[in-house]
Amino acid sequence: MNRETRFWTAMFLGGCLLLAFQSLGTERGVGQQFVVRVDATTGKIIPAAKEASDVSAAVKTVIYEPAAKGDPEAIWSFSRTAGIWIAALLTLCIFSYLYRDNVFYKLAESIIVGVSAGYWIVTNFWEVLVAKVLVKLAPDVARYAFLPDTPTNVKADYLYLVPVVLGCMVFCRLIPKIAWMGRWPLAFVVGTTAGLKLTSFLDADFVRQIRSTVLPLVVFSADASGGSALDWKQSIQNIVIVISVLSCVTYFYFSVEHKGLVGRISRVGIWVLMISFGASFALTVMGRITLLTMRLQFLFDEWLGLVRI
Amino acid sequence: MTSPLLNKLNGLDRRWIFLGMALAVLSPILLQIGSDETPSPPTIKLFDQIERLPEGSRILMAMDFDPTSAAELYPMALGFTRHCCLRHHKLYFVTIWPTGKPMIESTIKAVVQADFGSGDRQYVYGVDYMNLGYLAGDAVAISQMSSDIRKARPQDARGTSLDELSIMSGVPSVKEMDLIVNVSAGFPGGKEWVQYAATPQKIPIAIGCTGVQSTQLFPYYPDQLLGLVTGIRGAIEYETMLAAKYPNPYANRNKRPAFLRGGAQRWAHRLMIGLIVLGNGIHLANRYRRTPRR
């Protein structure tokens, strides 16, 4: 057994001992979750002593609310405890990549990809195929088969057949003989998206952004005596904005060779861009540290119970 | 010239840096060290706007984020919702992210139902707040909501017809909103709400976004954006103002998730600055060592 194996074996055994101590020797335990059963109709808590079969016979809808371990009506929740343990172990699997690539990391990564794909399929089935297509084309079928609360006054709108047909045409690409038909819906999407983007972009990003950059370079503001005084802070801010915008635009202006004055201005533009990239990078780091903080809070609070946040 | 320390630092295993970062983040968590921040003007503007709006104003809460960005944005969502509930505004929750649905449900449970679900001024579903749920179609969904909400979605997230909810009477489109508060993690999100709803319909909008997104959104402030709350720092700023204005109970640590993440943030940043200085120092020392002496 080499030094590295000995070290990691010792770390693993230490972790197991900590878990065993936390599980058996502390009040909170490790990842133990308790709930109280609440009658959704009356809002009353169902006593813990009542059997599950009796509850399901007497109460139409039961809601499970989180509860403290010492609560007299609290019952241990297998599903929530398992959820906490799975989340904690998957977090550790992902963290293990910091040491080196390994099978646990790959397993966790595959689970994330699979769960995400499944979630998107289910959500889009209900929100697009059922809510946007079936309800519009056949509201009675939707009410009977999927959504009982679909309003009775909803009438079928056969205009929605157009997107349905276009959507089906996308699959024509799978059959070589009629693959050309698959280009039509794509052309429709490209055309409508371009049109929609163009109008909104022109207004919100082009005209309004130019207007926001036309700023007074010397700003006067009212002082305490009622007169006007030079507002240094706002003036400097406006000058920086105007210089930054003009130099960046010059950097992306390729019709003139970047020499002499144009070259010097475009050099300032590069500096402005670099500062902006640096700010973006620093803010990304801030976000990633927050993510690490959240996972560690979860591990040490909800799972190990070492702190109470 | 050789230096054993420099040789050691040149060959330092990156895993020591990971360990250092883990300790820098973990220590404030275990010691419960938080951090307050001085509010910045874009955050103050949003806070003041929610304060200024008359009681019962309509606010669209667009929660376009997912669990991967919840570390930064969930504390923000809690802060905005708490503030709106304290002012007793009418809240309309919606998301254009499929993964935003559980984020809305969690926010409603943690704030609207837990803190404002009982008492004299309790929030009642369908009267004081409602959940439109997920709207498929990205920017097109925003555009459709701007012209006709019922066409975009005739039912709420519970399957109830919008016509049966009293909160929806007199609200044919997003134009009727007094303010849009968007919590955005990327595309589609803040930029699309500005482009397709706020700017063309002239609806006041404020955005709470991830740190990485803020450089894209700052050009809209202050002309097209009423306020901009950025990253965990922005969330801490908002919580600081909320705690100052409503100390009972929002000055309590357990009601301030962003504050508790601020301590770890501060120590991690100190370590990063130290590592950047150290890295540059090593680089300069190596260059000095390689330069031949005359």
Nearest to B200 among A131, A151, A200 (CB): A200
* Other CB atoms within 10 A of residue B171 CB: 19
DSSP character string of A123-169? HHIIIIIIIIIIHHH-HHHHHHHT-TTS-TT----GGGHHHHHHHHH
Give SS3 for A65: strand
Task: Say whether pLDDT at A189 is over 70.
Answer: yes
B131 pairs with which residues across the strands?
B93
Q: Do A208 and B212 touch (CB under 8 A)?
A: no
HSE-CB at A156 with a 13 A cutoff on CA atoms is 10
Tell me the mean pLDDT in the region A303-308. Answer: 87
* Mean pLDDT, chain A, whole residue set: 89
Integer Cα distance of B86 and B247 in angstroms: 12
User: Pick the residue with more confidence: A70 or B74?
Assistant: B74
For the stretch A87-100, pLDDT in tens is: 999 999 999 998 88
Q: Are the C-beta atoms of residues A45 and A38 closer than 8 Å to each other?
A: yes
Q: Do B232 and A285 touch (CB under 8 A)?
A: no
Task: Say whether pLDDT at B292 is over 80.
Answer: no
Min Cα–Cα distance to chain B from A1, Å:
22
Give SS3 for A67: strand
Integer Cα distance of B289 and B294 in angstroms: 13
- For B269, nearest residue in chain A (alpha carbons): A286
Nearest-CA neighbor of A247 among A237, A233, A261? A261
HSE-CB at B2 with a 13 A cutoff on CA atoms is 3
pLDDT for the residue B254: 84
Integer Cα distance of B227 and B293 in angstroms: 58
List the structure tokens of B130.
Answer: 């409602």
Q: Do A124 and B261 touch (CB under 8 A)?
A: no
Integer Cα distance of B237 and B249 in angstroms: 17
Pairing outcome for strands B58-64 and A228-230 = unpaired
Question: By the CB < 8 Å criterion, does B44 face chain A?
Answer: no
pLDDT for the residue A47: 83
* Other CB atoms within 10 A of residue A76 CB: 13
Question: By the CB < 8 Å criterion, does B273 face chain A?
Answer: no
The helix (run of H) or strand (run of E) holding residue A38 is strand A34-39
Integer Cα distance of A216 and B138 in angstroms: 37
User: A114-124 burial, b if ≥16 CB within 10 A, otherwise e?
Assistant: eeeeeeeeebe
Q: Do A204 and B98 touch (CB under 8 A)?
A: no
Contacts of A305 by beta carbon, 8 Å cutoff, 6+ apart: A22, A26, A28, A29, A30, A31
List the structure tokens of A36.
Answer: 């109280």
Nearest to A290 among B71, B133, B139 (CB): B71
Question: By the CB < 8 Å criterion, does A111 face chain B?
Answer: no
For the stretch B59-71, pLDDT in tens is: 999 999 999 999 9
Tell me the mean pLDDT in the region A114-138. Answer: 91
For the stretch B90-113, pLDDT in tens is: 999 999 999 999 999 999 999 999
HSE-CB at B42 with a 13 A cutoff on CA atoms is 23
List the structure tokens of B20.
Answer: 């250092």
| Encoded amino acid at B19, one letter | L
Torsion-angle region of residue A45: left (phi > 0), alpha (psi -120 to 50) or beta? beta
Contacts of A161 by beta carbon, 8 Å cutoff, 6+ apart: A137
Best mutation target, B14, B68, B72, B272, to test chain A (most A CBs within 10 A): B72
For the stretch A48-70, pLDDT in tens is: 877 777 777 777 788 888 888 88
List the structure tokens of A221.
Answer: 């503001």
The count of CB pairs under 8 A between chains A and B is: 144
Nearest-CA neighbor of A271 among A246, A232, A244, A297? A244
Question: By the CB < 8 Å criterion, does B13 face chain A?
Answer: no
Contacts of B130 by beta carbon, 8 Å cutoff, 6+ apart: B91, B92, B93, B156, B165, B167, B168
The helix (run of H) or strand (run of E) holding residue B27 is helix B14-30
Integer Cα distance of B178 and B61 in angstroms: 11
Q: Are the C-beta atoms of residues B1 and B289 closer than 8 Å to each other?
A: yes
List the structure tokens of A167.
Answer: 């959507």
pLDDT for the residue B294: 60
Q: Do A294 and B70 touch (CB under 8 A)?
A: yes
For the stretch A195-254, pLDDT in tens is: 988 888 888 889 999 988 999 999 988 877 778 888 899 999 999 999 999 999 999 999
Question: By the CB < 8 Å criterion, does A128 face chain B?
Answer: yes
Task: Say whether pLDDT at B192 is over 70.
Answer: yes
Question: By the CB < 8 Å criterion, does A237 face chain B?
Answer: no
Nearest-CA neighbor of A7 among A101, A80, A99? A99
List the structure tokens of A152.
Answer: 């009775």
